[in-house]
């Protein structure tokens, strides 16, 4: 995590000092006011709803967070989603993301952001994109039918949702499963003032075409419908008409057919029309109150649209049938009861429709049972609710939140304890509030509130909400977390806020008072059987399917489970699911009650932080070691701060970390070394010191440390001890006032390199540079150490370096240091390189700064030109580039690292030295470790590599080999070669990943290898991919499909390239039954009981061997026999055992003629062979071949020929088949006798 680098407040509350409620709220408020809405508590994300669109989302930020670990960038929901996805993909650990908070805190938006991030990073491809699109498009559909405007939130989820997204082993999405919890169906018939019904009603009326509204018999105006709040019909910032179009499009993407979409809208319209059914009171002849429908128009429209009987519907609404042991008793309902029945029907229809939609989505996105999958669960569920009037809905919602809090505490502590035990770190138990006592109060199987509620609903006698409350008062009179008026009176407490029909539970988030009125009815959630039966009789397919209990055949007297019991069971399954996964938490906070941007109510946020347990979470995190990091990443980040570990460390990672932190003077209680990680108990001071030492000097200046005038210690140690003092004579000898070194002078300078202690560079300067500035002034290490080095550049080891390198404008100025590093006049070409607007734009240092600073500025100009040459192949602005020396390259790396230049000796052109080689390899290794994707800076570094290690040999190979090879680091060439090979290998594999062919097994295309060295590997990958495709294809096949494919394979072996009719049979599946065998019991009896299934049932033609005439027969092929029977009598005329079949002859034409050769010793075979004609000869002979093989373990000889002989009793007939004009395509054949022993067949 970044420290001191422009962060607002404390990004991780684990580091908050002091750890109290006040500072925590102030920190959240400070960050919120600066639009920093995300804050960490360790690996828990706090999200404060900004109530506005912030420019911190989208592809750019997704790519940014995809490449970094959790703490490397500022807190963000993408960082948490990235950690969860990478852990699932790379570590094979199922994940769950728990999003909690009260209504209006931004839970729904958070879940959509998580899903959009996962969808963006989890791979590409036609099938993958289709799955991702279906998963994403489920959101607008569920929002339309499950969300509504409330007082607190314009898009409040009125149901709980848990989605399991399932991935394959590569991390590609396969599908998912959605589970919904407790839809607030009471909203269908009644809304509070200022609220709306579910969005879909308003979207339908606003966005449907006129023809659709006419078909649904609806009016455009919302005031026409009783179930819609007439005072609130629109929502600011929400376009119902366009949202309706989006819902229709999303349903189509998911896989809803047009007919299904129309039926869903018809059922939605039915709910609206039920609300307009007006009921009035009546009296029967005996004076008993009854009810009836005032206006029959509404009921008539329902009848026309849904196919309902209006009279039966009216009777079901206004009366109730009670079944007894002897008779059915019909009881009339008064107007209040009838209205209750109407509203109950509307609520049930909508609730069941919503469940049907969820199930229909699951059908589209479900994954096959044979798939091995990884799972990421996203839980978006209602938060803790404390309203003025809390009823049954708030009771079960808060019970669910109690369970989630229990999971949060237990899994957090469990995760901490397991990590300490795994690392061998002593663990001190943390005291925390265990809300298990509250969970037991509600959910205990025998003595819980839900159990008492069910018992009261089921027991005979007088049952109402008052008797239920009396039972609770008696049972929990001494419970510490239960209160009521009765228990308060017993303890002589006076509380005017507690009503006589209320009870109070002390939840973990605070005390909540519940009104018991309506608990019994809402828990029963019963719908009169009369209404269910009427709905089932509807001629509307969808409406009928919603009420299966209305079917008299499925009618059951068993009482359905209560709403409370169903919800308790669902929560238990959810908890089991969550415990089996690795949790990731998003705690959403609502900053104000008015949904206004920029407003932060400390009182409201304080309540939420208390019941979300944020302080408790921080204490748990800090009870052990607040900071922990693996040895390798810790050493990589901070090793440049120790002389022992920088620039080269050959020891183990743990030993290196011990060297680094050993300089911090930490006590043994503050520091612990585990098996794979270092642990710091209170990281504020040590982490601040580490980051303070690591960041560039200018960053520390910006943070307020004005007293520091030396460069970063680690950077100062980078190049070793300073060189000898600077000698101006070296400069004058190398660069005369004319700007170019004279050959003699230059040669002399190079000839006496060991005598000159300074550095001379033959450097071309821009033509517009001032004359005094045309001399290059060089800086020794001592001078640099004595001068302020104000540099905004960040070293290669900094994770943000790549963004600044690849950016433009400000990013480019971050790449080449700007403040205190450039001359005040810059050439146009260099302006273009640096992103400056004008060549006259002033860039510090201005004239009057030190000579050494101006010299460093000249070096930056030269290095900028060199970078441009390496990246672009030319110099900007007409500047001329000349070869630099190895020292220039070393200087460039020093400058890019943000440190001073120590150049102890003057080196000749292209002469490698041990100092420069060591420096270069050190910097290059840092770049390799920190680079994640190839960039243009990478190309520049590669050019420098070749320049150093290859160029010298090309220009002076003999001298270099003889004089300078000893200076090269051992194995450097091999290391660089391996790096280059690994780079192109990685590029090849990544390119292959993005260009994989489709998973169709018939698609055998494959990308060509870009290099010959990859040809063999590419072919092996091709074979591996194809085998994998085939395996995936086979795994999806049922046993029947596998058998069919085996039959097709046998057909290919028998007839491919042998019989002309074979190609036409390939795409046609083998049916087996061509005569409707299942509908003919007489034919079924022919095969016998022990025969097993009939493999082929077909009508064939039998050719008379004597005269060539044909007659129809029915052929049945079983596992043991071939049965021929008369088509009219359905009696077996010939039964041939498969062991009696000696062979088969078939022609190569497109006809269906074949000969069945029999053994002479068989009883049937004594009569002779059979000549038959079948329209499905390929299938028949294939299945006969496989049946004979299974029955006799011998292969049936199948001969493809036009000349064969048939045995006829004791003689034989020669058959010759010739092709007619039609080529056998019309299925007709003619037979002619040619003497007594020859038969000519024309096909």
Q: If we measure between CA atoms, which residue out of 13, 138, 12, 32 comes closest to residue 79? A: 12
Are 731 and 778 in contact, with CB atoms under 8 Å apart?
A: yes
**Measured distance CA(861)–CA(867) in Å, rounded:** 10
**Measured distance CA(804)–CA(700) in Å, rounded:** 19
The number of residues in the chain equals 1243
Q: What would the 3-class secondary structure string for 762-811 be? A: CCCCCCCCCHHHHCCCCCCHHHHHHCCCCCCCCCCCCCCHHHHHHCCCHH
**Measured distance CA(1109)–CA(1103) in Å, rounded:** 6
Tokens of 918: 């060591």
- Could you say which of 108, 138, 609, 617 is catalytic? 108
Which residue in this structure is represented by tokens 């047009």? Answer: 258
Q: If we measure between CA atoms, which residue out of 700, 702, 679, 682 comes closest to residue 691? A: 700
Is the alpha carbon torsion for 1000, 1001, 1003, 1008 positive or negative? Answer: positive
- Could you say which of 82, 111, 138, 157 is catalytic? 157
Are 347 and 188 in contact, with CB atoms under 8 Å apart?
A: yes
Active site residue 103: yes
- Could you say which of 100, 156, 617, 1147 is catalytic? 156
Give every CB contact of residue 325 below 8 A, 6+ residues apart in sequence. none
Tokens of 397: 């919602």
Are 306 and 538 in contact, with CB atoms under 8 Å apart?
A: yes
- Could you say which of 9, 42, 101, 104 is catalytic? 104
3-state secondary structure of 314: helix
- Could you say which of 146, 298, 383, 781 is catalytic? 383
Q: What does the radius of gyration of the chain's CA atoms come to, in whole angstroms? A: 42
> Helix 563-579 vs helix 449-458: angle between axes, to the nearest 10 degrees?
150
- H or E, element range at 298: helix 296-306
> How many C-beta neighbours within 10 Å does residue 803 have?
16
Which residue in this structure is represented by tokens 């009035």? Answer: 280
Active site residue 69: no
Which residue in this structure is represented by tokens 């590997």? Answer: 1017
In the sheet with 627-630, reading across from the earlier edge strand, the strands are 627-630, 677-680, 671-673
Active site residue 549: no
Active site residue 17: no
Decide: residue 965, CB within 10 A, 0-12 exposed, 13-18 middle, 19+ buried: exposed
Q: If we measure between CA atoms, which residue out of 1112, 1083, 1115, 1113 comes closest to residue 1180? A: 1115
**Measured distance CA(283)–CA(335) in Å, rounded:** 10
Are 730 and 758 in contact, with CB atoms under 8 Å apart?
A: yes
Cis amide leading into 823 (omega within 30): no
Q: First and final CA of the chain: distance in angstroms? A: 84
Active site residue 385: yes
Are 741 and 714 in contact, with CB atoms under 8 Å apart?
A: no
Are 828 and 838 in contact, with CB atoms under 8 Å apart?
A: no
- Could you say which of 153, 268, 484, 517 is catalytic? 153
**Measured distance CA(181)–CA(563) in Å, rounded:** 11
In sequence order, the β-bridge partners of residue 1121 are 1137
- Could you say which of 385, 636, 655, 790 is catalytic? 385
- Could you say which of 100, 103, 139, 243 is catalytic? 103
Are 113 and 602 in contact, with CB atoms under 8 Å apart?
A: no
φ, ψ of residue 449 in degrees (nearest 5): -60, -45
Active site residue 155: no
> How many C-beta neighbours within 10 Å does residue 82 have?
22
3-state secondary structure of 290: strand
> Helix 614-623 vs helix 602-612: angle between axes, to the nearest 10 degrees?
50
DSSP assignment of 1139-1178: GGEEEEEE-SSSS-EEEEEE-TTSTTGGGB-EEEE-TTHH
Cα 1024 to chain centroid distance, Å, stands at: 26
The residues that are catalytic are: 103-104, 108, 153, 156-157, 383, 385
């Amino acid at each position: 995590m970044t420290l001191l680098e422009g962060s607002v407040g404390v990004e991780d509350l684990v580091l908050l000092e002091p750890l109290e409620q006040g500072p925590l709220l102030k920190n959240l408020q400070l960050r919120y006011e600066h639009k920093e809405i995300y804050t960490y508590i360790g690996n828990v994300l706090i999200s404060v709803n900004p109530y506005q669109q912030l420019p911190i989302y989208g592809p750019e930020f997704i790519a940014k967070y995809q490449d970094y670990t959790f703490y490397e960038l500022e807190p963000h929901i993408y960082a948490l989603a990235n950690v969860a996805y990478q852990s699932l993909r790379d570590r094979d650990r199922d994940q769950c993301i728990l999003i909690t908070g009260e209504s209006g805190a931004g839970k729904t938006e958070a879940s959509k952001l998580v899903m959009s991030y996962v969808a963006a990073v989890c791979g590409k491809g036609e099938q993958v994109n289709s799955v991702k699109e279906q998963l994403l498009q489920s959101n607008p559909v569920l929002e339309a039918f499950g969300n509504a405007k409330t007082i607190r939130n314009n898009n409040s989820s009125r149901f709980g949702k848990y989605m399991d997204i399932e991935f394959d082993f590569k991390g590609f999405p396969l599908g998912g499963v959605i589970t919904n919890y407790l839809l607030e169906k009471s909203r269908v018939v009644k809304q509070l003032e200022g609220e709306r019904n579910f969005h879909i009603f308003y979207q339908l009326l606003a966005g449907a075409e006129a023809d659709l509204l006419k078909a649904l018999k609806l009016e455009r105006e919302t005031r026409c419908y009783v179930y819609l709040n007439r005072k609130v019909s629109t929502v600011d910032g929400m376009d119902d008409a366009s949202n309706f179009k989006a819902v229709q499009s999303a349903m189509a993407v998911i896989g809803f057919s047009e007919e299904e979409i129309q039926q869903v809208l018809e059922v939605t319209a039915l709910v609206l029309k039920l609300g307009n059914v007006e009921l009035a009171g009546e009296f029967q002849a005996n004076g008993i109150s009854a009810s009836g429908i005032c206006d029959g128009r509404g009921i008539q429209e329902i009848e026309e649209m849904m196919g309902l009987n209006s009279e039966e519907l009216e009777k079901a609404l206004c009366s109730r049938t009670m079944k007894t042991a002897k008779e059915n008793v019909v009881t009339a309902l008064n107007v209040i009861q009838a209205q209750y029945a109407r509203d109950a029907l509307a609520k049930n229809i909508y609730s069941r429709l919503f469940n049907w939609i969820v199930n229909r989505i699951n059908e589209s996105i479900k994954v096959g049972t044979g798939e091995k999958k990884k799972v990421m669960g996203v839980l978006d569920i209602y938060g803790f609710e404390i309203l003025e009037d809390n009823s049954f809905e708030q009771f079960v919602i808060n019970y669910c939140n109690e369970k989630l809090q229990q999971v949060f505490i237990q899994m957090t502590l469990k995760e901490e304890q397991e990590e300490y035990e795994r690392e061998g770190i002593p663990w001190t138990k943390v005291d925390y509030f265990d809300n298990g006592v509250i969970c037991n109060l509600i959910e205990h199987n025998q003595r819980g509130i839900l159990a008492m509620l069910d018992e009261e609903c089921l027991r005979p006698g007088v049952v109402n909400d008052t008797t239920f409350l009396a039972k609770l008062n008696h049972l929990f009179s001494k419970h510490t977390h239960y209160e009521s008026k009765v228990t308060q009176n017993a303890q002589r407490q006076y509380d005017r806020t507690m009503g006589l029909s209320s009870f109070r539970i002390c939840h973990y988030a605070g005390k909540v008072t519940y009104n018991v009125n309506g608990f019994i009815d809402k828990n029963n959630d019963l719908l009169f059987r009369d209404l269910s039966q009427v709905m089932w009789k509807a001629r509307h397919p969808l409406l009928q399917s919603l009420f299966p209990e209305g079917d008299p055949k499925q009618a059951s007297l068993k009482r359905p489970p209560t709403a409370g019991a169903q919800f308790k069971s669902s929560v238990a399954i959810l908890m089991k699911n969550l415990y089996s996964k690795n949790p990731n938490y998003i705690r959403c906070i609502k900053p104000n009650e008015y949904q206004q941007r920029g407003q932060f109510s400390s009182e409201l946020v304080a309540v939420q932080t208390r019941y979300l347990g944020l302080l408790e979470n921080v204490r748990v995190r800090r009870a052990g070691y607040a900071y922990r990091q693996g040895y390798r990443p810790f050493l990589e980040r901070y090793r440049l701060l120790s002389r022992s570990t920088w620039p080269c460390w050959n020891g183990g990672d743990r030993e290196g970390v011990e060297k680094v932190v050993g300089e911090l003077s930490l006590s043994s209680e503050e520091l612990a070394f585990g098996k794979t990680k270092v642990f710091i108990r209170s990281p504020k001071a040590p982490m601040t010191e580490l980051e303070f030492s690591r960041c560039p000097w200018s960053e520390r200046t910006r943070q307020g440390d004005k007293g520091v005038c030396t460069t970063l210690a680690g950077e100062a140690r980078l190049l070793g001890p300073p060189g000898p003092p600077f000698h101006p004579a070296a400069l004058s000898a190398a660069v005369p006032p004319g700007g170019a070194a004279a050959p003699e002078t230059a040669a002399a300078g190079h000839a006496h390199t060991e005598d000159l202690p300074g550095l001379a560079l033959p450097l071309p300067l821009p033509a517009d540079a001032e004359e005094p500035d045309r001399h290059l002034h060089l800086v020794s290490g001592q001078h640099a150490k004595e001068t302020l080095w104000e540099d905004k550049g960040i070293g290669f080891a900094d994770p943000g370096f790549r963004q600044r390198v690849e950016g433009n404008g400000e990013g480019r100025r971050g790449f080449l240091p700007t403040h205190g590093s450039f001359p005040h006049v810059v050439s146009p070409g260099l302006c273009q390189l640096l992103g400056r607007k004008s060549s006259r734009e002033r860039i510090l240092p201005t004239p009057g700064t030190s000579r050494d600073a101006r010299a460093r500025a000249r070096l930056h100009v030269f290095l900028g030109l060199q970078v441009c040459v390496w990246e672009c192949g030319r110099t900007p602005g007409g500047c001329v580039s000349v070869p630099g020396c190895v020292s220039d390259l070393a200087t460039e790396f020093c400058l890019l690292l943000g440190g001073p230049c120590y150049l102890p000796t003057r080196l000749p052109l292209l002469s490698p030295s041990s100092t420069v080689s060591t420096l270069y390899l050190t910097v290059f290794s840092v770049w390799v470790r920190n680079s994640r994707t190839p960039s243009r800076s990478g190309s520049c570094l590669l050019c420098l590599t070749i320049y150093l290690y290859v160029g010298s040999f090309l220009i002076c190979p003999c001298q270099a080999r003889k004089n300078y090879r000893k200076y090269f680091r051992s194995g450097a060439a091999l290391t660089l070669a391996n790096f280059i090979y690994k780079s192109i290998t990685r590029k090849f594999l990544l390119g292959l990943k993005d260009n994989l062919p489709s998973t169709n097994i018939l698609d055998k295309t494959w990308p060509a290898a870009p290099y010959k060295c990859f040809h063999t590997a590419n072919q092996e990958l091709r074979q591996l991919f194809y085998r994998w495709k085939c395996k995936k294809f086979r795994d999806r096949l049922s046993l029947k499909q596998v058998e069919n494919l085996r039959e097709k394979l046998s057909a290919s072996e028998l007839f491919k390239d042998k019989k002309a009719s074979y190609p036409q049979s390939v795409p046609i599946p083998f049916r087996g039954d061509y005569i409707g065998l299942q509908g003919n019991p007489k034919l079924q009896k022919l095969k016998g009981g022990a025969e097993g299934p009939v493999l082929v049932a077909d009508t064939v033609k039998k050719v008379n061997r004597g005269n060539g005439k044909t007659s129809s027969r029915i052929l049945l092929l079983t596992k043991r026999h071939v049965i021929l029977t008369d088509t009219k009598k359905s009696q077996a005329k010939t039964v041939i055992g498969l062991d009696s079949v000696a062979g088969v002859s078939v022609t190569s034409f497109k006809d269906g003629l074949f000969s069945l050769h029999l053994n002479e010793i068989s009883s049937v075979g004594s009569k002779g062979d059979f000549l038959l004609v079948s329209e499905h000869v390929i299938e028949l002979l294939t299945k006969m071949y496989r049946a004979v093989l299974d029955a006799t373990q011998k292969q049936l000889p199948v001969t493809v020929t036009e000349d064969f002989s048939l045995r006829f009793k004791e003689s034989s007939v020669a058959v010759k088949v010739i092709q007619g004009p039609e080529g056998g395509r019309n299925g007709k054949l003619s037979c002619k006798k040619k003497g007594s022993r020859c038969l000519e067949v024309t096909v």
